[in-house]
Structure 1
């Protein structure tokens, strides 16, 4: 980034040239991202996404589209997934009609949050399709609603400023061959395919699903890229959990910050949960913790990871916890822990 870029930014701000200011801000954010300062790029784009000043709003809010709030905090993801998101951003910025993406994976793997991340990084507003209004029990009405939705999408002002999110798209396009109600499901899926084919190339559309195997194959072929989020190793999950903990600990005082013990607690689970579930467990453990006991959240997290059970001293030892760590997690003195282990 050149000094002139910053000077131009200040100039555009004081002259009230909002379009130039926005474009210059995006260019600076992309420059930071290109040179490895992803968090600063995310912060800049997050600020822009939250401000009405920089983003033209829909004059007549749609019945089917809901603007989503974009958080400005970092999204911890494995490097392989971060590289895929950067690839999507590059594809969109090349403006060559690569504009439809499908995120697949188990619940809690960060699909929806990653869509928000992409929106932040490229400075677009995120509009989420509201299936509660789109899907109608009346025969044929869903197909009509779908046509109306895509008409609204294709006629958005400033199309280049939006990302459309079909979150859990399996709600409307499950495999036509394997469904009981073949006629209605087939009509809806066929209508979606037709509308997807006439989508404006200026619109970025991202869909997510937990049920990739159940999607109609004709639908999956329409997407330019499919990103698999089921690629977390146990090490990835532990590192993500550590980032989540460090963020949450900023809100709490007088709690232990023993990251080594925290990681051992996560690793002690037979099957380490996905990041979304880990976030909920860590947040709840901290929220419910006794402010007089700095280690209480660690004890609660351990129980949460083991179906609410209190693990015995011998079990904790088998899992690799030291005598000192067992004392912290059980409240039993080190001498008593050592005695029990030697007798056992």
Structure 2
């Protein structure tokens, strides 16, 4: 897809934010305590095999079947919840004229977040399950053959524990497909200024499981036996974020997210770290801001988790869970 469509989507999200702020935050915004923030970022290249990364777009679309988190917390309820479907594309644009986008990723998930008040603090359980793929039909490690063909299968048999997977990865049309379930626990410590949090410590711990059956029930969309030996079935997730709102209403966020892969191929670096800073400086768009990250370890762009290195990025972001007035129970 041409980059202009993703830029248009992001612009529409920002326009929606402005309208929401002007027409009443409570009536138009739905919030989710757990989840990555949408962004468009410009970044350095990760490995020598791909040196021409222009930017990455991570728009997020959530459709709530039911969500009383904002209303319920504002009213002081001890337990609020959301049930929703989410669509999370991940697209990298390259400077190459003939192939500006390579193997974009798509996550389609059903989820719930259950939020419990503990004084002024929040404990959230997030459970999401669905499908993750890039919609390609080629062999993951050859541009010449189709995925699942005898020729493609023969390539997997040549892979040894010492094979450089980054060097042989099909970066133009290689298939990536799996079903997944993610379970995350999040605890937020809120220091309230009147009724709005002005200092927040947020800690999360969770796990991501790759599995063959969709929603653990239906036999489609899963991985092949050869691929799961490359992927690894389990990823452990952890993170910390500190947010502070200045007297002038500017919000600063410092964060660290980490991931560890279990059971992947020996070439894969199991560790990934994202260290970053976000700032939300606008009074009329409290959910729109800027983000900078330093990334070290394995990549997170579909099959490119076989790549490893360091990377810097800077861009625009859309907040998933901005501070809002909640009833003070002290």
Common topology (TM > 0.5):
no
- Structure showing greater radius of gyration is 1
Structure 1 length-normalised TM:
0.20
| Structure 2 length-normalised TM | 0.21
**1 or 2, which has the higher strand percentage?**
2
Q: Which has the higher helix share?
A: 1
